[in-house]
Amino acid sequence: MSELQEIPERPLRTGYTTGACATACSKAALLSFLSQKKTESVEIMLPIGESAVFSLQNCHFNATTASCTTRKDAGDDPDVTHNAVIGAKVSLNNSGKINFLQGEGVGRVTLPGLEIPVGEPAINPVPRKMIENACRKVLADHQVERKGVDITIFVEDGALIAKRTLNERLGIMGGISILGTTGIVTPFSGSSYIASIRQGIDVALANGAGELVLNSGARSEKFLKSLFPHVPEFAFIHYGNWIGDTFEKIRESPLKKVSMGIMLGKAVKLAEGKLDTHSGKNSWNKEFVALIAQKAGYTEEVRTQISDMNMAGRLTELFNFTSTEKFYQVLMQECFYHCSRLAPDITLDLFLIDKEGSFIKHIK
C-alpha cells in the first residue's frame, strides 16, 4: 500500500485523479462522436478552477458510439491507479439525461453508506458533476443540448487493481472507484486512503455497526479478529498511518465504542502526539521513548540502551511484552490521551500488538 513507501527527498510532481481522467475521456469521446473526427487531446476544467490538458491514447468512433482512453498519471504519488488506462464510451439518448453506466473494471456499490446509491457504478459525486458539466458544454456547442448522453466509464485491469484497495471492504465490488474532489493528486497526501477511512466508517454505521475495531492494516487486523469474533468485517477499519484523520471522522459520528490495535513502531510515534505515523514524515524519537521509560521507573542505564537501538521493535528486548510491564502501560496511556483528545465522547479500548501477534490491553 502507498503508506509504506518512502517519500523522495526532492520536489514532487502532482498528478491527476481518476475522476479527471474519466472526465477527459468522456468529453473527448463525445467530441469525436459529434464531429466524427479523432480527438488526440482535450482540455477540461478541474474543480479547483484550473484547466488541464489530457492526451488520448486511443479514440474510436462510428455512427452510434465513440470511445476514448487515457493513461492516468498520478505524478510522484504511489497511487495504485498510476499508469492505469481509463476510458469512456458514449452514445446519445433522447431523454436529455446524463446516465452513468458501469464499464469493465469500475466497481458497483453493494452496501449502503456511501454517497452513491446501492446498484450504481462507483463514480463519486464530484467526478459525476465534472463529467456532466463537460458533456453539457459539448452538447450546447454542437447545438444538440436537448439530447442526453449514456456514459460508460471503464478501466483496463480495474478488477485486479481493486484488489490492492479497500474497495471490497466498502462494498464496492468488481473494480475501482472513480474518485477525486479537486482533480489533482498531491503526492503522499494519502487523500484516497483517508477518503476510504471516512467511507469505511460511514458504511459500518449504515449497516448497523455499534462499535469499530481500528487497525493499521491487514496484519494487525488478522491478529485482532481473534479478540473480536463478533464484529462484522465491515466494522474493521484500516487507519494506515492516518490516525488523526480517523479519529476526527469518529468524532463526527454517533459511535460510542471503539477498540484500536496498534503495533509498537506506530505506538511510539502516536505516544508523542504524531498523528501521521508515516516513516517518511515521522521517525521514532528515542529521547521521548527514554522519557517514557523514566516515567515508568527505569534507570538511566536502560534509557541509554534505548538510545542505542536502531528500531522501535527492539524495545521488546528490554521490556517483557506483558500487560504488567509498566513501560507499555505508560506508553499506551500517552497514546490514549492523544486519541481521546480528538474523540472525547467515545469509549476507547487500546491494544498494543507485537510482531508475533501477542496483545497487551491498556489498563485505564
The vertex-69 CA angle with 65 and 73, nearest 5°, equals: 160
- How high is the pLDDT of residue 7? 60
**Amino acid identity at 333:** Q
SS3 (DSSP) at 233: helix
Rounded Cα gap, residues 146 and 92, in angstroms: 10
- How high is the pLDDT of residue 61? 97
Mean pLDDT for back-to-back runs of 10 residues, the chain (364 residues): 52 90 98 97 96 97 98 89 97 97 98 96 98 98 97 98 93 96 86 90 95 92 93 94 95 96 94 81 84 95 92 92 96 97 96 93 94
Helix segments in 112-263, DSSP class H: 125-141, 158-162, 191-206, 218-224, 243-252
Rounded Cα gap, residues 99 and 132, in angstroms: 9
- How high is the pLDDT of residue 282? 55
Q: Pick the closest to residue 287 from 260, 265, 268 (CA basis).
A: 268
**Amino acid identity at 336:** F
> Between the CA of residue 213 and those of 30, 231, 239, 319, 323, what are the distances in Å?
46, 8, 10, 26, 20
Here the cell at position 184 is 489533482
Instruction: Label residues 157-177 b or e (16+ Cβ within 10 Å = b).
Output: ebbebbeebbbebbbbebbbb
- How high is the pLDDT of residue 2? 40
- How high is the pLDDT of residue 315? 94
